[in-house]
Amino acid sequence: MILVCGGIKGGVGKSTIATNMTVMRANQGMDVLLVDADDQGTASDFTAVRNETLVEQGAGYTSIKLYGAAVRSEVLRMAKKYDDVVIDVGGRDTAGQRAALSMANVYVVPFLPGSFDVWTLESVGKLVEEARAFNENLQAVCIINRADAKGSDNSDAAAIAKDTPGLEFVDAPLGNRKAFRSAASNGLAVTEFKPSDSKAIAEIKKLYKLLFDA
Ligand SMILES: Nc1ncnc2c1ncn2[C@@H]1O[C@H](COP(=O)(O)OP(=O)(O)O)[C@@H](O)[C@H]1O
Ligand SMILES: [Mg+2]
């Protein structure tokens, strides 16, 4: 399966989701290719840190950097050799993101509640509809990241997301939890990080199930 973590906002959790899904998939015994299509290189940096943390066993997946049209041509060529490809794109409408969307099976778009992020979903929905012209089975979902523990921001944001054409809102939020940050800065998925945060683990597992078992 080809999973793309994207959107047109930075700092919303695309790389967090891409790296967690990659590691969790690899830990299930799958042969995974993680494609870093963001020139900021977060996914590649994560892998470098992971290789330092897990010197003996190694990252457990293959990581490459690709930009622009090469995202499509190279992934199409390599996808046959892997069980899964996870593509982490930058937070802009780039040729690389469009190339990724042209062949993705699943596109996941995180957004933050209580911010202007939710309004960017409309443009992302348009990108999806354009991609569907030649990738008609593209499944596109949006989820709340860094969900607030209290207040109505989550439900307000969810209501807007549900009305966005082109994107399906799914109820699999990730809470705003330190464990996501701490795990990432050690090159680990939140499922691997100690001391474990059972809420964070439950949330990421729910998202994993939704994206891979759908
Ligand atoms: N659910 C979360 N809880 C706490 N921190 C988070 C969460 N998701 C992401 N972060 C942190 O927010 C920052 C931006 O996340 P990142 O995944 O790099 O976003 P993007 O790839 O969309 O730019 C990172 O420091 C990351 O560790
Ligand atoms: Mg990123």
Instruction: Give the mean model confidence (pLDDT) for residues 12-41.
Output: 98
Task: Write the pLDDT tens digit of every residue in 50-87.
Answer: 999 999 999 999 999 999 999 999 999 999 999 999 99
pLDDT of residue 178: 98
Instruction: Give the mean model confidence (pLDDT) for residues 142-157.
Output: 91
Of 36, 180, 207, best ligand 1 pocket probe by most atoms within 8 Å of the beta carbon: 180
Asked whether the predicted pLDDT for residue 28 surpasses 90, the reply is yes
**How close is the Cα of 18 to the center of ligand 1, in Å?**
11
Write the single-letter amino acid at 13: G
pLDDT of residue 214: 62
> Do 144 and 40 form a contact (C-beta atoms < 8 A)?
no
Ligand 1 atom, smallest distance to 185 CA: 27
Asked whether the predicted pLDDT for residue 138 surpasses 90, the reply is yes
What percent of the chain is modeled with pLDDT above 90?
A: 93
Asked whether the predicted pLDDT for residue 91 surpasses 70, the reply is yes
Pocket of ligand 1, beta carbon within 6 A: 10-16, 42, 91, 145-146, 174, 176-177, 180-181, 184
Strands 32-37 and 139-144: unpaired
* Domains within the chain, CATH numbers bracketed: 2-212 (3.40.50.300)
pLDDT of residue 148: 87
Task: Write the pLDDT tens digit of every residue in 118-127.
Answer: 889 999 999 9
Asked whether the predicted pLDDT for residue 112 surpasses 80, the reply is yes
pLDDT of residue 118: 86
Asked whether the predicted pLDDT for residue 128 surpasses 90, the reply is yes
User: Residue 188: is it exposed, middle or buried by C-beta count within 10 angstroms (0-12/13-18/19+)?
Assistant: buried
Alpha helix locations (H) across the chain?
Answer: 14-27, 42-53, 70-78, 95-101, 117-132, 153-162, 178-185, 198-212
Instruction: Give the mean model confidence (pLDDT) for residues 135-141.
Output: 98
Asked whether the predicted pLDDT for residue 36 surpasses 70, the reply is yes
Instruction: Give the mean model confidence (pLDDT) for residues 188-197.
Output: 98
Taking a 5 Å cut-off on Cβ, the residues next to ion ligand 2 are 14-15, 42
Question: Any idea what DSSP says for residue 81?
Answer: G
Instruction: Give the mean model confidence (pLDDT) for residues 1-26.
Output: 97
Instruction: Give the mean model confidence (pLDDT) for residues 151-160.
Output: 90
